[in-house]
Amino acid sequence: APAMRTLQRFQSNNRSRLSAGSFGTVPAGGSGAFLGLGEHSSRAPSVRSLAESGHHLAEPRAVEMYNGHSTLLGHHAGGFDDIDLPSAVKYLIASDPNLQVLGAAYLQHKCYSDSSAKKQARSLQAMPKLVKLFNSPNQEVQRHATGAMRNLIYDNAENKLALVEENGIYELMRTLREPDDELRKNVTGILWNLSSSDNLKDRLARDTLEQLTDLVLVPLSGLGGSGVIQQNPSEAEIFYNSTGFLRNLSSASQQTRQKMRECHGLVDSMIHYVNSSLEVGKSEDKSVENAVCVLRNLSYRLYDEMPPSSLQRLEGHRRNAGGTVTGELVGCFSPQSKKAREHYLNADIVTFTEVSKDPKGMEWLWNPQIVGIYNRLLQRCELNKHTTEAASGALQNITAGDRRWAGVLSRLALEQERILNPVLDRVRTADHHQLRSLTGLIRNLSRHARNKDEMSTKVVSHLIEKLPGSVGDKAPPADVIVNIIAVLNNLVVESPMAARDIVYFDGLRKLFFIKKRRDSSDNEKSSRAAASLLGNMWQYTKLHRDFKMKGYRKEDFLSL
């Protein structure tokens, strides 16, 4: 029979390849088994800083054929000439495991890049049949069934939904318990593919996080056992798939972010993996990138979403519900007195010391130690711009807003971590996407900095350089321009040196150019920001002579 001839060729090919040891990774379109990590932003502006919630990863593609490792079988071996899709789907319910393997292998081959085949397979009820084979007693059946499913759901929303509706998530998590790395690679690849669908993220978080953390994240991050990352190549891929899955989930709803923060061991695993990778010089690692993006997304709107008891601990008793300093007396002193300020400073130190002790779980997200981790990433990660952009975005998130703790971490970053130099090094070579988080971070730091003069001498020239000064100049996005002008304004209102340096580094010409540009809604925003800054600069009467020497009058500064 034709099916038996194909089965014999298939088994013969497997045996010859196993004996030859040729287990190469199948190229996908000339690259690797995974597509390039093309990304789109999935973010929403925070109240204070347009804090991006981070990257959303493209799906990893499955390999075309599988025979214990990723190998190209199919057409090179004479292949599946005498099988069609209806026959392959029937083989999935055959009593012979060899036929089940053949049917799944054909589906994996046929659905590698053929969208019509994916649709036809779904109409032939391949999805529920494959799900039933995920936990077959035959390991080869399991491997091929999960490999086929990985291709069937790739870039196909209907098949993803069909998998979930067939109780597929439950069966996948059962399969993940199998001590077989090849199988676990397929399962985590399927989860990653599923997580690219926004409508499935909340359900995936509910049904997978605890088991995935216990079975994959804790042991493979090095958090469990020796504390050292010890991954073979297959385990590295399993961990990479799993962190890609988390990265996509973390860009979902507040409900999912909360569930991830509260999942025992999840945040600890991400922190431990990043820290350990930094210690052994592997900051460029792609799983580090995923882990930092997860941390960045989980720090989004952190002070609004953290448990009230944690927020109260960080805020102390100095603020009322509206976030302003209360008017209550400290002993016999008013809140504005020197004694009261010393009291609040001492309270900050006490809180800081308490919070710094032995962080666990989500406490890491606002712990002072995490500022040092992000700083080391900015300094040591030279090639992977996604990692450094995520680190600066996470710092932007935890320094955003009027909360007391945002100010504490900002001053820690400036004064103890000396973070301005690494950040400004990144600003010099940043693309527009990176500039958003970098300038958003500097904007937050400039609000909370104690020494505005010192900060001015470091940042003004670098930021002025990024502003457009004429029609032909390559301008950054409007939100970056607004961030830069907001930094300059935060400094100018308290530092004459900032105003002086803006004049010295040719900032007036650029600010007046931006002020006059009102040909779009975006340019209108940056124009208003520039007008506000210029109005504040006029208040420095000692600079009026310099202004006039450059050809500007009072009306230029004060007109809207």
Average pLDDT of span 229-252: 96
pLDDT bin (cut points 50, 70, 90) of residue 560 is confident
Q: Among 230, 250, 270, where does a domain finish?
A: 250
Is pLDDT at 75 greater than 60 in this prediction?
no
Least confident of 101-105, 355-359, 370-374, 440-444: 355-359
Domain that includes residue 467, residue range: 463-560
pLDDT digits (tens, 9 = 90+) for 165-195: 999 999 999 999 999 999 999 999 999 999 9
How many CB atoms within 10 Å of residue 495?
A: 22
In a domain, 55, yes or no: yes
**Domain CATH for 108:** 1.25.10.10
Judge whether 366 lies within some domain: no
Q: Report the chain's mean pLDDT, rounded to a whole number.
A: 84
Structure tokens at 279: 């210690």
Q: What is the pLDDT of residues 92-118, one digit of tens each?
A: 999 999 999 999 999 999 999 899 999
Contact 318, 347 (CB under 8 A): yes
- Largest Cα–Cα separation, the chain: 98
Predicted local distance difference test score (pLDDT) of residue 59: 73
Q: Is residue 59 part of a domain?
A: yes
The token duo for 266 is: 């999840």
Residue 349: predicted pLDDT: 65
How many whole angstroms separate alpha carbon 508 and alpha carbon 530? 10
DSSP assignment of 228-267 equals: S----HHHHHHHHHHHHHHHHHTTS-HHHHHHHHHSTTHH
Within 10 Å of residue 262's Cβ, how many Cβ atoms? 13
**Residue written as token pair 């079988």:** 73
**How many CB atoms are located within 10 Å of the residue 174 CB?**
13
DSSP 25: P
Domain final residue pick, 218, 234, 250: 250
Could you give the CA distance from residue 346 to residue 348 in angstroms, rounded to a whole number? 5
Place of tokens 């085949």: 117
Question: 104 φ, ψ to 5°?
Answer: -65, -40
pLDDT tens per residue, range 485-533? 999 999 999 999 999 999 999 999 999 999 999 889 989 999 999 999 9
Q: Which residue has the tokens 């004479």?
A: 78
Side-chain half-sphere CA neighbours of 484 within 13 A: 30
Q: How confident is the model at residue 409 (pLDDT cuts 50, 70, 90)?
A: very high
Q: Which has more pLDDT, 39 or 363? A: 363
For the segment 532-548, what is each residue's pLDDT rounded down to a tens digit?
Answer: 999 999 999 999 999 99
What mean pLDDT is predicted for residues 293-314?
A: 95
pLDDT value of residue 319: 44
Q: CA-CA distance, 557 to 515, in Å (whole number)?
A: 10
Nearest to 136 by CA among 106, 180, 74: 180
Residue 227's pLDDT band (cuts 50, 70, 90)? confident
- Identify which has the larger pLDDT, 58 or 519: 519
Our count of domains for the chain comes to: 2
Task: Tell me the CB-side half-sphere exposure of residue 401, using CA atoms within 13 A.
Answer: 20
Ranges 136-150, 183-197, 242-256, 331-345: which has the least confidence: 331-345
Residue 78 has pLDDT above 90, yes or no: no
Residue 466 has pLDDT above 60, yes or no: yes
Residue 72 covered by a domain? yes
> Looking at the chain, how many residues does it have?
560
Q: Is residue 333 part of a domain?
A: no
Domain boundary among 222, 250, 278: 250
Whose structure tokens read 């287990």? 23
- Encoded amino acid at 180, one letter: D
Q: Are 259 and 206 in contact (CB under 8 A)?
A: yes
| Best CA proximity match to 242, nearest among 331, 181, 199 | 181
Question: pLDDT digit string (tens) for 205-226?
Answer: 999 999 999 999 999 999 877 7
Kindly state whether residue 77 falls inside one of the protein's structural domains.
yes
- Look at residue 559 in the predicted model and tell me its pLDDT: 85
* pLDDT above 90 coverage of the chain, percent: 74
Which alpha helices (DSSP H) does 124-264 contain, by range?
A: 126-133, 139-153, 157-165, 168-175, 181-194, 201-212, 218-221, 233-249, 254-262
b/e sequence 407-443, b meaning 16+ C-beta within 10 Å: bbbbbbbbeebebbebbbebbeebeebbbbbbbbbbb
Share of the chain above pLDDT 70, in %: 79
Higher confidence at residue 150 or residue 227? Answer: 150
Tell me what the mean pLDDT of segment 229-247 comes to.
96
Residue 21 has pLDDT above 80, yes or no: no
Residue 218 domain flag: yes
Asked if residue 503 belongs to a domain, the reply is yes
Q: How much is the average pLDDT of 369-381?
A: 97
pLDDT at position 46, please? 30
Per-residue model confidence as pLDDT tens digits over 415-454? 999 999 999 999 999 999 999 999 999 999 999 999 999 9
Long-range contacts of 14-23 (CB under 8 A, 24+ apart): 14/67, 14/68, 17/67, 17/71, 18/67, 18/68, 22/71, 23/68, 23/69, 23/70, 23/71
